[in-house]
Copies of this chain bind each other. A is one copy, B any other.
Amino acid sequence: MMRLMARSSGAELALLLLGGFQSMVDDVVGELASRGHEGVRASHEFALRAIEEGADTATELGRRLSVSKQAAAKTIAALERLGYVERETDPSDARVKRLRVTARGHDMMTLGATLFTEVRDRWAAQIGAEQLDALEAHLAQLTKNRSAGTEGLARLGEDLGEAI
């Protein structure tokens, strides 16, 4: 029996995709930390963006992120602790706690977006803008039948379990 069986080319590709993702995220999160946003995780950025885009209650955030409302509530608690969102009871419906992204939250979102784009620009410089555009387009095509948006993030835990 042969030892050291070659890693399948498919698995290689999966690892490469994961590595690319990790690389970007590590970079952005690290830079974010060094610019006054310690403790933030990429998930926070995505959740914050969802809130800003209208998911301004725990239940709705859970829906957008494809996660239970309890899980969303935990994320919100973290966001609140870090000063990125504020909660206040909706005057027109005493059941709901309305979420509002704070100024610091907006700062973080903006900086995060910028940092992500900077990484992408660096990549473009490295392999050529056309190549990177093509890579992105192909990836979009290959995953277009699945929910590749922010919702996908929610299933990361699950997929990670499966994936790591």
Contact (Cβ within 8 A) B136 A134: no
Residues of B within 8 Å of A3, CB to CB, are 52-53
Given contacts A120-B9, A127-B141, contact A15 B152 (CB under 8 A): yes
A117: contacting residue among B8, B20, B29, B164, CB under 8 A: B8
**Segment 1-60 of A: residues with Cβ below 8 Å from B:** 1, 3-5, 7-26, 28-29, 41-43, 45-46, 49, 52-53
How far, in whole Å, are A155 and B113 apart by their CA atoms in the complex?
A: 23
Residues of B within 8 Å of A163, CB to CB, are 21-22, 25, 29, 41-43, 153, 156
Interface magnitude class on chain A: 35 or more
Contact (Cβ within 8 A) B146 A19: yes
Which residue of B has the minimal Cβ distance to A136? B13
Contact (Cβ within 8 A) A19 B156: no
Query: Which label, helix, strand, loop or mixed, suits the secondary structure of the A interface?
Result: helix
Contact (Cβ within 8 A) A138 B148: no
Given contacts A43-B164, A164-B46, contact A20 B17 (CB under 8 A): yes
Q: Which A-B residue pairs are the 10 nearest by beta carbons? A: A10-B116, A8-B113, A19-B148, A10-B120, A43-B164, A10-B117, A17-B21, A156-B164, A42-B163, A41-B162
A-B residue pairs in contact (CB < 8 Å), sample of 6: A10-B120, A11-B46, A14-B28, A15-B149, A21-B159, A42-B164
